[in-house]
Amino acid sequence: MTMPPSATGRLVIVSGPSGAGKTTVLRRVFEAATAPLLPSVSATTRPPRPGEIDGVDYHFLSEQEFNARCARGEFLESFEVFARGYWYGTLKTEVASGLGAGKWVVLEIDVHGAAAVMEQYPSAISIFVQPSSIEELKRRLRGRGTETEEAIRRRLAQANEELRFAHRYRHQVINDDMDHAVQEICDILNREAEADRDAR
């Protein structure tokens, strides 16, 4: 007996400089999208910011635990995101369980992690969220009020580096208007879902 093809999970990779507003845009996309989106909870050695919850925002790990899990091959990708800073990584279990359940697993990761995942999952939907300008990025990072000047300086250097990777993504979205950026990402996801249906 031939079974009808079931809905398959997809990987959605979202990157963009810290301060480009991608976390806020994504939060709204999660509310508005029709695709069954599921956020992948990354692991990090960074300490939690006020209000962040372990297992929800990140799996907050000690460096020792992070290294041990890395050595056991538990990460799909892991990178030290800011020079002399903290480690971040995508756990294989987060991705496998979501994809197995037919979800669209969303990875909000840096450009190096994204490159590693794109190599392993060439059909991943990749989206780069651009700030409208570097000046706007500076304003947002300062306005956040959670970072020291040194951390902001490092994030800006990182942002300039990340912008050089934008062309590697299948889709680029400029976040100059929040509503527009949210709509654009929802449209991208809808088009991908249509293409999936046509392929079946």
CB of 79 to ligand 5GP, least distance (A): 4
Say how far apart CA 153 and CA 193 lie, in whole Å.
39
Residue 38, interface with ligand 5GP (CB under 6 A)?
no
| Amino acid at position 191, single letter | R
Residue 19, interface with ligand 5GP (CB under 6 A)?
no
Nearer to ligand 5GP, 33 or 158 (CB): 158
Site for ligand 5GP in 59-98 (CB under 6 A): 77, 79, 81, 88-90
Residue 169, interface with ligand 5GP (CB under 6 A)?
no
| Amino acid at position 163, single letter | L
Nearer to ligand 5GP, 46 or 171 (CB): 46
Nearest to 7 by CA among 102, 72, 82, 92: 102
* Strand-by-strand arrangement of the 125-131 sheet: 37-39, 104-108, 10-15, 125-131, 171-175
Nearer to ligand 5GP, 5 or 122 (CB): 122
> What does the block give as tokens for 144?
């956040």
Q: Which residues contact 90 (CB under 8 A, 6 or more apart)?
A: 40, 42, 43, 75, 76, 77, 78, 107, 109, 113, 117
Nearer to ligand 5GP, 79 or 128 (CB): 79
Q: Which of 95, 109, 173, 189 binds ligand 5GP (CB under 6 A)?
A: 109
Q: Tell me the window of 95-103, 104-112, 125-133, 136-144 that interacts with ligand 5GP (CB under 6 A).
A: 104-112
Q: Which of 9, 33, 110, 189 binds ligand 5GP (CB under 6 A)?
A: 110
Nearer to ligand 5GP, 18 or 130 (CB): 18
Size of the site for ligand 5GP (CB under 6 A): 14
3-state secondary structure 74-97: CEEEEEECCCCCCEEEEEHHHHHH
CB of 38 to ligand 5GP, least distance (A): 15
Q: At what angle do helices 134-144 and 149-163 cross, to 10 degrees?
A: 150
